[in-house]
Structures are given as C-alpha cells and as structure tokens.
Amino acid sequence: MTQKPMTKTQLVAALAEATGTDKATANNTLQAITDIVTNEVVGGGAVTLPGLGKFVCRDRPDRMVRNPATGEQMHKDADRVAKVTIAKALKDAVNA
C-alpha cells in the first residue's frame, strides 16, 4: 500500500531539521528553488537537480486526439508541457 504524499508543511519541517535552520528560512529556500526552476523552464531552459532529475519544457506539435467518451477524433493545437526525467541515482535508490 502506498503512503500519502509528503505535504509542503512536512517538507519544510524536514528541510529545516536537515539543514539546522528554522522553518521560515527553509520555506524561503524551498520557494526560491521553486521560483528559479519555474522561471527557467517557462523560458525554454532546463534545470538539473543533482540526484533528483531534470526539469525541461517540451513543445508538442499539432495532433489528432480521440475523445474517450464518444470516440470522436478532434484536432488539438500545439502546446508546451513540463517534463521531468528522473535521475539514475534516484531510480537506483528506489529499486535497491
């Protein structure tokens, strides 16, 4: 059975404990990392967090999609999606 995902509050508390800082500093650090990654990916760049993975924005072309409820084919315009590639170190840790 899978566990519930860690909440932001739990993550901030764990980060504060691991770094020996208070929760406000840990929260500001987490927010800064989030902002940096978001701004870089939105701008078309990529960010690698060593040991975790690589965040990148990918362009998807125009394509035909199918409505699963009706089976109707429809056209979907080109769009952009955020993609995360998990680092090998994390994959190896999970599968160990």
- The tens place of each residue's pLDDT in the chain, 96 residues long, gives 578 999 999 999 999 999 999 999 999 999 999 999 999 999 999 999 999 999 999 999 999 999 999 999 999 999 999 999 999 999 999 998
HSE on the CB side for 26, CA within 13 Å?
A: 16
Q: Is 68 in contact with 60 (CB distance < 8 Å)?
A: no
Contacts of 86 (CB under 8 A, 6+ apart): 52, 53
- What's this model's pTM, rounded to 2 decimal places? 0.79
pLDDT at 64: 94
Q: Taking a C-beta distance cutoff of 8 angstroms, is the pair 85, 47 a contact?
A: no
Q: Which domains does the chain have, with CATH numbers?
A: 1-43 (no CATH), 46-96 (4.10.520.10)
Residue 69 in 3-state DSSP? coil
Rounded-to-integer distance, Cα 23 and Cα 9, Å: 9
